[in-house]
Structure 1
């Protein structure tokens, strides 16, 4: 399959699985992912903005705001509890807002860690990117109450241990989560002029905390107290901008990601990953390609894009592939427990679109196309 074909199919697939509420189904055919996440959805909306599908992104951000507003009382209760020192550090506490929702904005019960902050920072970052890419400045006023509530919630909770972007390690603090919060707070500074000084100080404090506590051996670490490397650390540079791509800390982090987690063009999450045998995640491979473009390594970025194209299945791009497994003995057990790996994963398609746009593979005729 050619890259151009996958570009068009990715756009169509994402639009097809955006629900009437504006939410994107993470993976419509995978039982455990038939929900909507603020984090995954924001990167999907960002991809839609980059290919000119601004109405789709607008609808998603309106959905985010509706969900946050619907749970305002819970958020305010959590803020008061944190400020009063009454919540402790129980990261799974139902006191806090959830990380995944039904497409109608209801919380999802289950064993997964529900207290995650990265999505709340990421949707604010994505909203600012939507305005930048689409010119839709009016959306800021429309969603003002949800924006301010999110900022209040993040300001109160950012120091608390909570689950990472993989919904694991809820008892720790994670540099990537803090970077997401940093990015969201910074992104809102121009749009909340009455709070600009407060937000600037908060962002600076969070960034310094990561630099002071989120590094070891001259590079960033998976979490405070865990010196392992995680491929999501790429996000500290693109898109969260906590450090530049050329920063020595990031350069050494990427070198460690390449040494431990890169096999061919496929990127693993982290060395101890056992989920479906610890396969290679297409979205993380695209992320490495995105980073490569930033540092002038477009040749490898193009090779990664071609590799992703080669992994297209009849139903779409999967979450991960099994070319190289870190824990092959675990694969069959996961199949028995949860079924076949997720496919299609909208986040995989979104990250392919972002990488394709970074490489200049998406022409203006595609960005202006009215696709069914």
Structure 2
């Protein structure tokens, strides 16, 4: 159905307002030291910032024109990494010696705002965020011409860490299945290493290491991370995961319009998308396995890159529809639960699911920029 012109205009006005308020919310909650809180109120996330979530948030803020916010996050990442220089050196040296450290000795996936690992137990060994933050830096450089040299030492540390560790099984984006090698994780690693190799801030040897390892990872994805013509959830699986939309969409590791890209998009649509909302994966039971607005936006970005802006706009509209009266966007909604019997156990454990989730707001911004070139309003001039 085609909306009347007045309804389309109202919809666009409402979307623009939600995009602007989302950027304002992210800015208002960003810690003074640069970290983005995952969610300010959800009990399991409060006080922590993830490299992965934060990198995608920074990319959205950069794309929207909030360059200073993105750079503050990159500065925070750099401080966290440089404070762990010795740990990273030991991890890389052990891998080279054929005696890799235990998972518990690898870098955590999330940190407190002051850069500590935190005291809470978590499913911590995840590699994807370390590739994602470097990819986001490169995107920011393209957006704004920023000088990445200020982050060069921490980018070099990241290359050492990922080049020595990329083949290891680890937890996925969702803190699950640590026994597997996940294809979306590999995509994030490949994107970060490729970015590091092309930023022009590394010494020749490390730039070559980043480039050659990126080649290895991408070849591995195509050789071992494909099933039935589409990217797979993990090596050896035939299922898909919605996080794969990032690999064929905004991160462009597999071009969205390629045969592998379009097949992956189609598989996500077939298995995980319902009425515009997107599930993480089949069998998800976290808070009942609801639909995630940020994943609708990732899938929208993949469609936009594949040449289908109409489907991308429909997914953007669905994501926007999850915002509450105050404009707050949740982690997930219960419109189409995969297993409604599993909601209460999570509520009893952690309270109601995260709302707001800054990553949801960020991906709405990022898809709006992709489709319509949305940018932050220019600062208002003030009279003397």
Partner of 1:349: 361
Range with bigger deviation, 45-54 or 291-300: 291-300
Residue 166 of structure 1, aligned match among 149, 174, 194:
174
Partner of 1:126: 136
Range with bigger deviation, 234-243 or 31-40: 234-243
Q: Deviations over 1:121-148 (max 9, x none)?
A: 00110111111111111xx222221111
Give, in angstroms, the shift of residue 315 of structure 1: 6.2
Partner of 1:78: 91
Give, in angstroms, the shift of residue 225 of structure 1: 2.5
Give, in angstroms, the shift of residue 197 of structure 1: 3.0
In 2, Cα distance between equivalents of 1:102 and 1:144: 23
Q: Give 3-state SS (helix, strand or coil) of 2:56's partner.
A: helix
Query: Does structure 2 conserve the Cα–Cα contact (< 8 Å) formed by 1:4 and 1:361?
Result: no
1:65 to 2:65 alignment: no
The number of residues matched between the two structures is 364
1:180 to 2:188 alignment: yes
Q: Deviations over 1:282-339 (max 9, x none)?
A: 0000111111211222122222222222211136100000100001110122111110
In 2, Cα distance between equivalents of 1:224 and 1:367: 44
Partner of 1:3: 15
Give, in angstroms, the shift of residue 25 of structure 1: 0.4
Query: Does structure 1 conserve the Cα–Cα contact (< 8 Å) formed by 2:249 and 2:299?
Result: no
1:16 to 2:28 alignment: yes
Residue 100 of structure 1, aligned match among 91, 110, 116:
110
Q: Give 3-state SS (helix, strand or coil) of 1:36's partner.
A: strand
Q: TM-score, normalised by structure 2?
A: 0.91
Give, in angstroms, the shift of residue 240 of structure 1: 2.4
Give, in angstroms, the shift of residue 239 of structure 1: 2.4
Equivalence map 1:199-278=2 (5 Å): 199-278=210-289
Partner of 1:49: 62
Structure 1 unaligned blocks of 5 or more: none
In 2, Cα distance between equivalents of 1:352 and 1:256: 22
1:329 to 2:329 alignment: no
Q: 1:73 to 1:193 in 2, by over 3 A?
A: closer
In 2, Cα distance between equivalents of 1:245 and 1:282: 20
1:147 to 2:155 alignment: yes
Structure 2 unaligned blocks of 5 or more: 1-10
Q: Deviations over 1:243-288 (max 9, x none)?
A: 1112212222221111111110100000010000000000000111
Query: Does structure 1 conserve the Cα–Cα contact (< 8 Å) formed by 2:265 and 2:303?
Result: no
Residue 322 of structure 2, aligned match among 307, 311, 323:
311
Give, in angstroms, the shift of residue 109 of structure 1: 3.4
Q: TM-score, normalised by structure 1?
A: 0.94
In 2, Cα distance between equivalents of 1:272 and 1:264: 18
Partner of 2:332: 320
Partner of 1:293: 304
Query: Does structure 1 conserve the Cα–Cα contact (< 8 Å) formed by 2:262 and 2:306?
Result: no
Give, in angstroms, the shift of residue 37 of structure 1: 0.5
1:136 to 2:146 alignment: yes
Query: Does structure 2 conserve the Cα–Cα contact (< 8 Å) formed by 1:49 and 1:57?
Result: yes
Give, in angstroms, the shift of residue 228 of structure 1: 1.5
Query: Does structure 2 conserve the Cα–Cα contact (< 8 Å) formed by 1:315 and 1:343?
Result: no
Query: Does structure 1 conserve the Cα–Cα contact (< 8 Å) formed by 2:56 and 2:362?
Result: yes
In 1, Cα distance between equivalents of 2:236 and 2:168: 14
Q: Deviations over 1:66-111 (max 9, x none)?
A: 00011112111211222222236x5xx2211110000000002333
Partner of 2:43: 31
Q: Deviations over 1:149-191 (max 9, x none)?
A: 1101111001111111111111110111111111111112232
In 2, Cα distance between equivalents of 1:220 and 1:317: 29
- CA RMSD across the alignment: 1.6
